[in-house]
Structure 1
Amino acid sequence: MTQMTQIDGDEVERVKVLIVGGGVVGLSASLFLAQHGVPSLLVERHAGTSIHPRARGVSGRTMELLRGLGLEAAAREAGEAIAPSMGVYKGRSLSEVMASRRSNGLVIRWLRERMMRGEGSPKSPTSPCRVTQDHLEPVLLDAARARGVDARFSTELVELAQDAEGVTATLLDRGSGARRRARADYVIAADGARSPVRTSLGVGQSGRGVLTHQLNLYFRADLTELVRGREFSMCLVEDGDLRGLFASVNNTDLWVLHVPFDPEKGERAEDFGRERCEEIIRRATGIPDLAVELKGVMPWQSAVRVADGFRHGRVFLAGDAAHVMPPWGGFGANTGIQDAHNLAWKLAAVLAGRAGEGLLDTYDVERRPVARAVADIAGDMNDERGLMTGRSGLAMLWTMRRAFPYFVVGYGYASEAVILEPGAPPGPGATDLRGRPGTRAPHVWLSRQGARISTLDLFGRGFVLLAAEGGDAWCEAARTLARRTGIPLSSHRVGGDVEDPSGALGGAYGIGRDGAVLVRPDGFIAFRARTARAAPEDVLADALARILVAPALRAAGRGVSAGPWMHG
């Protein structure tokens, strides 16, 4: 239900969080906020969701986040029309490349089938999913609206002003031309690579900058027989002055061809009319009489740019507004969704009065290093003309070695919101999922009321205290602390409400029989007690006070009057 307020005699709409941008990142942000009980208003200047495939894959880590939203199955169903594919090839034309290949090998076929089934790995209960952005966004939008998100398309943010108490936004209805104002506590800017919000704030960017200018030619052409048994992900073609990169959509009749152009040579996107684009496609396929239906032409820049700060007062940058990177490796959308996941629980905690404003600073501290790392990797996968490098064999594997960890969960955090242990802090590329604070909580199969669940299924809505078999004191301390403070904090003990049939949990989390870990709402380890501690309530209260940047919580957690401590 929309609330209204008066500002300078004018009626203004009142919202907790305003999300600018209705793409995959903005929609994900609205869903993660809803998961924590925070209503949001989402505005998008376009009339609907994306009509271009754009991002074509959801990483294993992002699928874990969709699993937490209850959308894993829906995402896979949306991707059923998109044939899973692997392999990056190179040749003079697509026809020549296909003619040189007999069929995909046993390993490739096995990996594709596994992806189709959504089978997990020892590190995760799920696996990557191949689904294009134009199919995924409607799934996210339907879910967001079903969960109470006020999502308005054809609505453009035209002015933004913030003060110490909130942000005032002027919104334009692009259909009627009507303007209205909204007042939000916080704003998430997920409004793309050219982000008007970022520009209006005067936020600088750093990195290699624009590498090349590209045209995305989205087209329909029946190439089923050409690629049957040789389905691929990408194919670089080069013949004389022609250079382009095919990206398969469904490996039958939907494709994208990336073609570079050079403004310094006087080339413009406007010069590529329908007939010229269709001729480029025919030449790149090597089929002169190919029937081509051009579905869309979209100019874009292959660039590496990261914003100089993801938080600016009450405005937060996410997705392409925060970091731009070449699409090779599929980092852009996945990194953006992970941005939103990191930010949502922190906004919820501050809005509920359970955390200090300082917690919001950890969004930048945690996410900007990850963005820089993956942007550099994606940039290294670029060749001199802005297409994915055509290296093959061991050279390609060497280039990809830095990318592989991020396809699963290769990132760690080191900030005030983590009680770090001695030694080098985890950071981008961290893959040692062994219960170390600052890393994603390890996946272990458990049993609850006879049902098989992953440890990851326990996380997502609030803090979780996960204890080994002898950790009763930790669980009792967590229950007492939750009761005194109102902080969403649940506890689970092996041998209590959950069972550990494999006996793997203690080893996976690095805790003894009477140890425990405190897991943040985003599934990252915040604190670890390898064994029992004296006064566990005080230990947990101190840990939460540090993590939430809320010193008064120490006293509240001990049952001592702490003044105006708020807990929702």
Structure 2
Amino acid sequence: MATPQLDVLVVGAGPTGLSAALLLGRAGVRTHVVARHPGTSRHPKAHVVNARTMELFRQWGLSGEVGEAALPPERGLGMGWMTRMAGRELGRIMIEDDPAALEAMLTHSSEILRSCPQDVLEPHLLQAAEAHPGVTVEFATEVLSTEQDASGVTTRARSVRDGAERTFRSTYVIAADGSHSTIRRGLGIPTPRLQAAGHMIGVHFTADLAACRQDRPFLLWWIVNPDTQGVFITLDGHHRWVYLFGYDPSLHAAQDFTPERCAEIVRQAVGTPDVAVDVLGVFPWRMETAIAERFREGRVFLAGDAAHRFPPTGGFGMNTGIQDAHNLAWKLVHVWKGTAGEALLDTYETERRPVAMANAEQSVANAERMAPTGALLADPSSLLEVENEQSPEGAALRAQISAAIPAQREQAFFTGQTFGFVYDSAAIVADGTSAPESTVSVYRPTACPGARAPHLWLRTATDELVALHDAIADRFTVLTGPQGQAWENAAAEAGRRCGLDVGVLRIGPGTAWRDETGQWQELYEVGPSGCVLVRPDGHIAMRCSTDPGDALGVLTRALSKVLAQEKSPVAVG
């Protein structure tokens, strides 16, 4: 049985697929989501929601409820290393111990990093996506194949419940179907591994570990002893936890780790033999790094884990996927509306693949730096003396581990990695400048074309405090200064010529938008009559430091270039 014609079929209902559906639904795009699982995730899986992703949730009206559902910030202030949870502490990295880095986190965004487990997050995204009339979500449906032609994609799928097959016809397909993506394999897109795999078990459990948590407000608890090496993640700050540990597949099969055995391993890691552990789920997975060679094949786009997968050291996986969806959705919307050429869709891979590569490299670097601490895929024989308080060998080993802990700082402080990436593609109008390079920990705000527009708090004429990215929302927006009347006048006409609704924010004294910090012109490196054009995804498309005398022409040409309007801007009206 064939379904009605769809604009976009999204395969996969994890955070990436649901974010894509939500964004497309906001624009009125007919979107259907299929997923082979019976519902949203029952396992916590990912949990880090970085500040950039929280900015997006804020724009989608979700940051409040996600923040409420997340771990209270005061219960996850850093990470610690210890022989066992109830054992000797070997070292810690705490956010509050670096006031400058903490201040930077609070300065560069309207939001902060939160820890919200995937099984808690996904229902919020599902509800928000399904709130749009054009979005439908269907679980327990696995995709069998896709075939493309000049006008669309035919996708064969089968019900997991009764085996009934059906066919979907869509203009585009977003493959957000995970690391074992059926669609990616069917397209024959190579996904070379950049790092050998490590085999891991995730144990989701509840236990009363309050006695161990005293004076240790850690988000991550790294465990180092000869019996087990891994990490506890606190999910609610009280009773719900995950313990991740590695295993050797030449010695054990994944199915050997029964709930009963996993409960005993958790007790070993806690260091309290009689603690009551209720195992809610056991999740085997492979820790590896791999990036698809292509993110686009005709009308099919790979996103999230289907396009890239990283070690969990850094928490980049889910965030990269959600931000993939954010980058792709506005481009699909404009092509669907007819206000952009198909070539705009090529910039999805051009922009997002380098970000995935950078996040993969940082995840690998974090994992490699962990080796001297003994907490990740360590050789148990190297840790035999770590708990021996009487031997010189034990003291030397503990000192060696403690000395390696400060090098793990980038797992806690990564503001530059979060905000500092700069796109370079045909959807950017270069101005001859180079962006100052951010490090992993240090973000250097810039309005160089391709960069995320630096955060500002703006005060409206009605005395409301608004974050710049909230004011931009989902549309092209001109930012200009108090003498930018020419740009304000040009925005409406340039938008009309290009078929767009172009927003305008005039910022500064005497305007409707007042910069609370007075940093607008210095931060964006424009004069009182200068202009910055921001794309719907919040990245800078074009910058002019002054009024060039032909604001309408400059703005129209910039919009036309960014949107790949091949011959001339769209004529409307």
TM over 0.5: yes
State the 1:251 CA deviation.
3.3
Corresponding residue for 1:232? 218
1:173 aligns with 2:152: no
Deviation at 1:134, TM superposition (A): 0.9
Aligned counterpart for 1:152 among listed residues 126, 134, 138 = 138
Q: 2:263 aligns with which of 260, 263, 278?
A: 278
User: What letter matches 2:502 in structure 1?
Assistant: L
- Between 337-346 and 75-84, report the one with greater CA deviation: 75-84
| 3-state SS in 2 of match to 1:96 | coil
Q: Which amino acid aligns with 2:150?
A: A
Task: Choose from 426, 430, 437 the match for 1:416.
Answer: 426
| Pair 1:425–1:232, CA change in 2 (3 A) | closer
Partner of 1:498 in structure 2? 513
Aligned to 2:251: 266
For 2:43, the aligned partner's letter is: H
Query: Which residue does the alignment assign to 1:5?
Result: none
* Alpha-carbon offset, residue 369 of structure 1: 0.7
Structure 1: state its 5+ residue gaps: 1-9, 557-564
Map Cα deviations across residues 243-284 of structure 1 (whole Å, 9 max, x no partner): 222222223221111121112x23210111222212111111
- Structure 2: 5+ residue runs without aligned partners? 379-397
Q: 1:280 to 1:120 in 2, by over 3 A?
A: closer
1:22 aligned residue: 13
Q: Secondary structure at the residue paired with 1:47?
A: coil
- For 1:442, the equivalent position in structure 2 comes to 454
Q: Shift of the alpha carbon at 1:464?
A: 0.3
Task: Tell me how far apart the structure 2 counterparts of residues 445 and 393 of structure 1 sit (CA, whole Å).
Answer: 41
- Paired with 1:367 and 1:479, the residues of 2 have a C-alpha distance of 30
> Is contact 1:412–1:427 with CA below 8 Å preserved after alignment?
no
Q: Identify if the C-alpha distance between structure 1 residues 336 and 529 changes in structure 2 by more than 3 Å, giving closer, same or farther.
A: same
Distance change >3 Å, CA 386–CA 187, structure 1 → 2: farther
State which of 59, 63, 68 in structure 2 corresponds to 1:72. 63
Quote the offset at 1:432 in angstroms: 3.1
**Identical positions, percent:** 38
Q: Which residue of 2 aligns with 1:213?
A: 199
3-state secondary structure, aligned to 1:499: strand
Native 8 Å contact 1:342 1:363 kept in 2 = yes
Query: By how many angstroms is 1:192 displaced?
Result: 0.7
| C-alpha contact 2:19 2:125 (8 A) present in aligned 1 | yes
Cα distance, 1:12 vs structure 2: 3.7
One of 501, 505, 513 as aligned partner of 1:488: 501
Q: CA RMSD in A?
A: 2.8
2: CA distance between counterparts of 1:464 and 1:107? 37
How many correspondences in the alignment? 542
1:255-404 map, 5 Å: 255-263=241-249, 265-383=250-368, 387=376, 395-401=404-410, 404=414
1:129 to 114, 117, 122: 114
Q: 1:288 to 1:525 in 2, by over 3 A?
A: same
TM, length-normalised to structure 2: 0.88
Query: What TM-score do the two structures reach when normalised by structure 1?
Result: 0.89
Quick one: which amino acid aligns to residue 328 of structure 2? L
**8 Å contact kept, 1:16–1:185:** yes
| 1:455 equivalent in structure 2 | 468
Instruction: Say whether 1:512 aligns with 2:527.
Output: yes
- SS of 1:124's partner is coil
One-letter amino acid of the counterpart of residue 458, structure 2:
L
Cα gap change, 1:200 to 1:244, in 2 (>3 Å): same
2:227 & 2:76 partners in 1: Cα distance?
Answer: 28
In structure 2, what is the equivalent of residue 7 of structure 1?
Answer: none
Q: Is the partner of 2:326 in helix, strand or coil?
A: helix
Conserved? CA contact 2:475–2:535, under 8 Å: yes
SS at match of 2:109: coil
| Residue 534 (structure 1) aligns with | 549
For 1:16-43, what per-residue CA distance to the aligned partner results, in whole angstroms no more than 9, with x for missing partners?
Answer: 1111000111111111222333231111
Judge conservation of contact 1:104–1:231 (CA < 8 Å) in 2: no
SS of structure 2 residue aligned to 1:41: strand
- For the residues of structure 2 that align with 1:105 and 1:360, how far apart are their CA atoms? 42
Larger displacement relative to structure 2 (129-138 or 428-437): 428-437
Q: Does 1:87 align with 2:100?
A: no
Q: Which range moved further: 493-502 or 419-428?
A: 419-428
Counterparts of 1:205 and 1:219 in 2: how far apart (Å)? 33
Q: Specify whether residues 338 and 245 from structure 1 end up closer, same or farther in structure 2 by C-alpha distance, changes over 3 A only.
A: same
2:478 match: 465
Check the 8 A contact 2:496/2:572 in 1, yes or no.
no
Supply the distance in 1 between the matched residues of 2:25 and 2:286 (Cα, whole angstroms): 33
Distance in 2 between residues matched to 1:491 and 1:362, nearest whole Å: 25
Q: 1:274 to 1:379 in 2, by over 3 A?
A: same
> Residue by residue, what CA displacement relative to the aligned partner does 1:411-451 show, whole Å, maximum 9, x if unpaired?
11011111112244688869432311111111111122321
2:560 corresponds to: 545
Supply the AA of the counterpart residue of 1:91. M
**Structure-2 separation of matches of 1:327 and 1:223:** 24
Deviates more, 1:351-360 or 1:476-485: 476-485
Q: Is the 8 A contact 2:78 2:95 kept in 1?
A: no
Question: How far has the Cα of 1:514 moved from its partner?
Answer: 0.6
Task: Indicate yes or no: 2:42 matched with 1:51.
Answer: yes
Q: How far apart, in 2, do the equivalents of 1:300 and 1:105 lie?
A: 29
Q: SS of the counterpart of 2:88?
A: helix
Supply the AA of the counterpart residue of 1:179.
Answer: E
Instruction: Give, as a single letter, the amino acid of the residue that structure 1 aligns with 2:15.
Output: V
Counting only pairs closer than 5 Å after superposition, residues 246-261 of structure 1 correspond to structure 2 as 246-261=232-247
* 1:3 matched residue in structure 2: none
Given that residues 41 and 119 in structure 2 are in contact (C-alpha distance below 8 angstroms), is that contact kept between their aligned partners in structure 1? Answer: yes
Which of 296-305 and 474-483 deviates more?
Answer: 474-483
- Alpha-carbon spacing, 1:126–1:321, altered in 2? closer, same or farther (3 Å): same
Are residues 421 and 394 of structure 1, via their aligned partners in 2, closer, same or farther at CA, if it must alter by over 3 Å?
A: farther
- 1:432 maps to what in 2? 444
Greater mean deviation of Cα atoms: 59-68 or 121-130: 121-130
Provide closer, same or farther for how the CA distance between residues 229 and 241 of structure 1 changes in structure 2, counting only shifts above 3 A: closer
| CA 1:152–1:351: 2 relative to 1, 3 Å | same
Whether contact under 8 Å (1:35, 1:461) holds in the other structure is no
Paired residue secondary structure (1:374): helix
1:171, CA displacement in angstroms? 2.3
Alpha-carbon distance in 1 for matches of 2:125, 2:100: 27
